[in-house]
């Protein structure tokens, strides 16, 4: 049992100060902007919830939100199963493990705009391997012109960039399963599927939850990579919420609406993450009671 000890607050204090500087104060500024209007000269006046109403009713916001949701959905549907399958196929011991881990972690450590640059170059019809290869196969591919191609490029790029995170998380869950479990399953003549369903999946559930949450949040907040590759185009086809937001805040300097949009954006992420968390933890409890069967 943990000790009740309110002096522990002193240990948390330095962290709280740092996070306060980098989170609470800026967030308060955003809240402040979101309820005020300005005609320049640093004169602000109260407009209440006007900006929120405007944003919530605007077509532009709805479209960007739908595009972002679609993107995140596709990313989760592709990356999570793919990540699990690759983690299952990974070697468990020997030199091959380090080799695979180092190579797989590589895309994770590339600055995001360089990721964008890599794919921008890779997909170009004139100088890129992918673009050149596809067009020599007779496929009409051009991510700067065609909406579908732009989407495919962005999704393949994100799969390239982030699937390894899912792989690493799942792999770490898998290697922590004691060998005894597999032996027991073998004695029972369990099929490959039931080993996965009743031993491996419950054991990696916790890390999988983290993977889903991280992938959801990060794909929902994606900015740099699509900005570099497509710049939100063609047209507005890949203008996700974050791109739209930065355009509004820095490009047009519409502080009020941008701040209101920021807060709505943040709340959407919080809400959806909470839903994911609740659903997955309740699934966890269900399968524990069902799968135990001892």
What is the size of the binding site for other proteins (CB under 8 A)?
112
DSSP 38: E
The phi, psi pair for 46, rounded to 5°, reads -70, 130
The contacts of residue 155 (CB under 8 Å, 6+ apart) are 71, 74, 75, 78
Residue 8 DSSP symbol? G
- Does position 275 interact with other proteins (CB under 8 A)? The reply is no
Out of 250, 275, 279, 283, the residue judged to bind other proteins by CB under 8 A: 250
DSSP labels, 66-109: HHHHHHHHHHHHHHHHHHHHHHHHS--SSHHHHHHHHHHHGGGG
Among 41, 126, 138, 235, binds other proteins (CB under 8 A): 126
- The minimum distance between CB 51 and other proteins, in angstroms, equals 14
Q: 184: which 2 tokens?
A: 């027991």
- Contact between 34 and other proteins (CB under 8 A)? no
By CB under 8 A, the residues from 158 to 217 that bind other proteins are 160, 163-164, 168-169, 171-173, 175-176, 180-181, 183-190, 192, 194-195, 198-199, 206-207, 210, 217
* Residue 134 C-alpha from the chain's centroid: 28
CB of 38 to other proteins, least distance (A): 13
Enumerate residues 55-74 that contact other proteins by CB under 8 A.
Answer: none
Q: Which of 64, 75, 154, 255 binds other proteins (CB under 8 A)?
A: 255
CB of 75 to other proteins, least distance (A): 16
Question: Is 152 a binder of other proteins (CB under 8 A)?
Answer: no
In sequence order, which residues have a C-beta less than 8 Å from that of residue 77 and are 6 or more positions away? Answer: none
Q: 166, 211 in Cβ contact below 8 A?
A: yes
Cβ pair 163, 83 in contact under 8 A: yes
- With binding defined as CB under 8 A, does residue 49 bind other proteins? no
List 61, 122, 143, 151, residue binding other proteins (CB under 8 A): 122
Other beta carbons less than 10 A from residue 246's beta carbon: 14
Long-range pairs for 124-130: beta carbons < 8 A, 24 or more residues apart: none
Cα–Cα nearest to 262, from 34, 28, 21, 24: 34
> Which listed residue (27, 47, 65, 280) binds other proteins by CB under 8 A?
27
The residue range among 45-53, 70-78, 124-132, 144-152 that interacts with other proteins, by the rule CB under 8 A, is 124-132
The residue within the footprint of other proteins, chosen from 35, 80, 104, 150 (CB under 8 A), is 104
Show the site string, 211-240: x = touches other proteins by CB under 8 A, - = not.
Answer: ------x--xx-xx---x------------
């Amino acid at each position: 049992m943990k000790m009740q000890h309110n002096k522990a607050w002193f240990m948390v204090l330095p962290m709280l100060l740092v996070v306060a500087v980098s989170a609470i104060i800026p967030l308060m500024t955003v809240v402040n902007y979101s309820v005020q209007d300005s005609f320049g000269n640093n004169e602000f006046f109260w407009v209440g919830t006007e900006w929120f109403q405007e944003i919530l009713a605007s077509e532009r916001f709805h479209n960007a939100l739908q595009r972002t949701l679609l993107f995140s959905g596709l990313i989760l549907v592709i990356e999570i199963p793919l990540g699990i399958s690759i983690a299952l196929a990974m070697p468990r011991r020997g030199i091959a493990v380090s080799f695979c881990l180092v190579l797989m972690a590589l895309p994770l450590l590339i600055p995001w705009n360089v990721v964008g640059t890599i794919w921008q170059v890779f997909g170009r019809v004139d100088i890129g391997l992918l673009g050149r290869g596809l067009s020599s196969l007779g496929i009409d591919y051009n991510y700067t012109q065609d909406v579908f191609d732009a989407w495919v490029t962005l999704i393949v790029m994100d799969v390239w960039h982030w699937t390894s995170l899912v792989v690493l998380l799942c792999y770490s869950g898998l290697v922590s399963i004691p060998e005894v479990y597999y032996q027991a399953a073998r004695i029972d003549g369990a099929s490959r599927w039931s080993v996965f369903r009743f031993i491996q999946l419950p054991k990696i559930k916790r890390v999988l939850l983290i993977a889903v949450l991280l992938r959801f949040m990060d794909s929902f907040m994606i900015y740099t990579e699509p900005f570099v590759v497509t710049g939100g185009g063609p047209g507005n086809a890949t203008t996700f919420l974050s791109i739209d937001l930065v355009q509004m805040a820095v490009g047009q300097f519409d502080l009020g609406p941008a701040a209101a949009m920021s807060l709505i954006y943040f709340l959407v992420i919080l809400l959806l993450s909470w839903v994911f968390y609740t659903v997955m933890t309740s699934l966890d409890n269900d399968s524990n009671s069902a799968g135990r069967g001892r």
